A and B are shown apart, each in its own frame.
Chain A
Amino acid sequence: MQTILSIGVDAFAYGMVLFVISIGLSVTMGLMKFANLAHGAFAMIGGYVASYATQALGWHFGFALLAAVAACMVLAVPLERFLYRRFYGASELRQVLMTIGLTFMIIGIANWLMGPTLKTIALPPALQGPVDIGFRSVPAHKIFAAVVGLLVAIGLWLLIERTFFGVKLRAAVDDAPMAEALGIRTKIVYAISFSIAIGLAALGGVVGAQLLPIEPQYALHHMVTFLVVVSVGGAGSIGGALAACLILGTVKTTGSYLMPEFGNFFFYLAVIAIVAVFPNGLMGRAK
């Protein structure tokens, strides 16, 4: 019984970290219809900024987290204006090629600027070490990641479903010329959405850094994981992404506890099974 509870706790924590890191990609792919494979690269930049801020500048983790998100959101503005905008509506293959190319460039720059070694983000004492939750101890940073994940999920849902900006975004996505005709400045809506998505990537990179350490190959190492979450959950669906992360987290954690020698077999089996039954993902909209 205790083992089952333990696996449950680990699965939830891992799933929430996955969610924090992947949700930004779900926003770009689902709401903006842009296959942004450079998502992981932005998460990595966020991680590097936070690592530099905490280690070299000695900033508090909270400020470093904000700085990382802000830096990536600012960086996203010219990128969107001069690069991404040219590829809206282009074929997915061209978007994929462009963003993979961008990923390789960012990897090269990261390697050159920050060196090939691992980077860590200094956590405040409150987030270090284990926390006793009664029947076992859980790393404090995982609890933090889970809380951040829940806040992000609620915040995004409110933004998209309950605000005027959300209404404009949904209109711009569904029918851009009509939205434009109604006076919605779709270019600005897209630019803001893109910036938010990149900010989420950076947030995920910083919050998830204890599980996915920051190093130059980060963007490539974890690309498949991010894509799997989006395709299983359904692009653009916050609830879907949350469900996908929790299901995949449970499958992976249970598998690696009970039968580690099977590797990722059960993880990918679950992915295949879900995508076979729900071709658009758990809560994706039919095309």
Chain B
Amino acid sequence: MKYLLQVTAAVALCAGVAHADVIKVGVVGPFSGGAALQGRNFQAGIEAYFALHGKTVGEHEIEVIYRDLPAADPGQSAALTQELIVGEGVQYLAGYYYTPDAMAAAPILEEANVPMVIFNAATSAIVNASPLVVRTSFTTFQTSTPMATVARERGISKAITVVSDYGPGIDAETAFVRAFGAAGGETVQSVRMPMTTVDFSPIMQRIKDSGAEAVFAFLPAGPQTLGFMTAFVENGLKDAGVQLLAPGDLTQESDLPVLGPNAAGMLTTFHYAVSHNSPENIAFIEAASNWLGNPDELSFPAVGAYDGMTVIARMIEATDGRQDAAAAVEAVKGMEWISPRGPVSINPENRHLTQNIYLREVAEVEGKWINHELQVFENQGDPGWVAP
């Protein structure tokens, strides 16, 4: 009898503790290697969330466990995800910089009863990979499509597209060509460049020869954009009055100190600019920069991570710490809040983020290069998404 009491007491105690438990969140991202800066931005976003909202949700404390995936590697992504679930016992998965990595981890979710919150990967199809995927990033379709409207409004009727020959580049090309055609413009040529291109002079010659009034470009952020924009200026295209248009990946703030002079006046459409003027964003920037040390390193993946933590906190609150992936995802469908990027909501149908897309111009303000917001396209969904 005494033994039974002891056991009961022990079980009760455990159950009580289990409710005010540590909730583990596994974050997969590039924390070393070529995209290490973007991984640091994941961390900055998460730490900014903790700094502003605390590490606890009700009785539950959030613990983040990081796993490093330096380059797109689906096999390694699946292995790390499994290890996080089985070895660490995480209740939530988050992060994922590259689409293939998110895709490789998605099939595990239902069996493991774990939701996944995408901080960055930007292909429309990810939300179709599992009903437990929620996205707080953006898609290349979403950010590229409004650019066609911008081009038409500025009287451009002939454009050429120049993109890096890989998934997001082809998405950007398709999105722009489709929307530009629908708005009555003509895409005279579509050039796909190899990923490893370093000398862009031949491409610039091609743009010149095409007779287009504007070029819509997409390249992965980083060293290539510098070469591209330098070549654009040095081969005389800027002086010839050709307008350079792109989604905001090309002018991310962490690259602007070096891109600035050559990118001046360039138009981009994107979901987030560090210069966005709102109280939420100012608080966010301060918290994220404090963690980063160098404010110039802040870039868009941080805001994806920050909002991702907002969503995860809501999930924990709704399930009171229980591991119930379906209920957690159900609880955030239709969720609306004010993000540092502006008002956002989660589309209940496809769990993708509906958000404002801003037209920005690269400009120098008080000695610092920024993406200056000119125009807002409100409540944009994902035009690339098709029902599975």
Q: B-contacting residues of A (Cβ < 8 Å)?
A: 3, 6-7, 10, 13-14, 17, 111, 115-120, 129-130, 137, 139-142, 210-213, 215-218, 221-222, 252-254, 256-257, 260-261, 263-264
Contacts and interface: CB of A to CB of B under 8 A. Distances in A.
B258 A119 contact: yes
A249 to B, nearest CB: 8
A13 B201 contact: yes
Of all A-B residue pairs in the complex, the 5 with the closest CB atoms, nearest first, are A263-B194, A139-B234, A257-B202, A116-B37, A10-B201
Contact of A116 (B36, B201, B203): B36
Contacts of A6: 205
Interface stretch (B47-55, B150-158, B221-229, B334-342): B221-229
A253 B201 contact: yes
B192 interface: yes
B32, B201, B226: residue with the most chain A Cβ atoms closer than 10 Å: B201
Contacts of A253: 199, 201-202
B255 interface: yes
Contacts of B257: 117
B86 to A, nearest CB: 30
Interface in B175-221: 191-199, 201-203, 205-206, 209
A213 B226 contact: yes
A173 to B, nearest CB: 33
Contacts of B226: 118, 120, 213
A215 B33 CA distance: 11
Given A115-B294, A118-B222, A120-B226, A260 B193 contact: yes
A116, A211, A215, A257: residue with the most chain B Cβ atoms closer than 10 Å: A116
A264 B196 contact: yes
Interface string B292-306: 001011000000000
Nearest to A257: B202
A239 B198 CA distance: 24
A137 B307 CA distance: 47
B236 interface: yes
Contacts of A216: 34
Interface string B243-256: 00000000000110
Interface string B35-48: 01100100000000
Contacts of A140: 234
Contacts of B205: 3, 6-7, 10, 257
Contact of A118 (B36, B234, B258): B258
Contacts of B233: 129
Given A117-B254, A211-B198, A215-B222, A3 B209 contact: yes
A10 B234 contact: no
A212 B198 CA distance: 6
B201 A120 contact: no
A14 B33 contact: no
Contacts of A260: 165, 191-194, 202-203, 206
Nearest to B257: A117
Given A217-B33, A256-B193, A261-B192, A117 B297 contact: yes
B194 A264 contact: yes
B255 A117 contact: yes
A260 B257 CA distance: 30
A221 B224 CA distance: 11
Contact of A252 (B191, B192, B199): B199
Contacts of B323: none
Nearest to B259: A118
Contacts of A137: 234-236
Given A3-B205, A118-B258, A137-B236, A111 B36 contact: yes
26 contacts: A7-B205, A10-B202, A13-B201, A14-B199, A17-B199, A111-B32, A115-B294, A117-B37, A117-B254, A117-B258, A117-B296, A118-B258, A119-B258, A120-B226, A137-B235, A211-B227, A213-B223, A217-B33, A217-B223, A221-B223, A256-B199, A260-B191, A260-B193, A260-B206, A263-B194, A264-B196
B174 interface: no
A13, A137, A215, A260: residue with the most chain B Cβ atoms closer than 10 Å: A260
Contact of B223 (A7, A118, A141, A263): A118
B202 A261 contact: no
Nearest to A218: B223
A130 B235 contact: yes
A254 B196 CA distance: 16
A256 B198 contact: no
Nearest to B202: A257
Given A252-B199, A260-B206, 17 more contacts: A6-B205, A17-B199, A115-B294, A117-B37, A117-B254, A118-B222, A120-B258, A129-B234, A139-B230, A141-B234, A213-B227, A217-B34, A218-B223, A256-B193, A257-B206, A263-B165, A264-B196
Contacts of A111: 32, 36
A145 to B, nearest CB: 11
Contacts of A7: 202, 205
A163 B202 CA distance: 41
Contacts of B40: 116
B255 A256 contact: no
Contact of B194 (A13, A139, A213, A256): A256
B165 A261 contact: yes
Contacts of A13: 201
B258 A130 contact: no
B70 to A, nearest CB: 10
B262 to A, nearest CB: 10
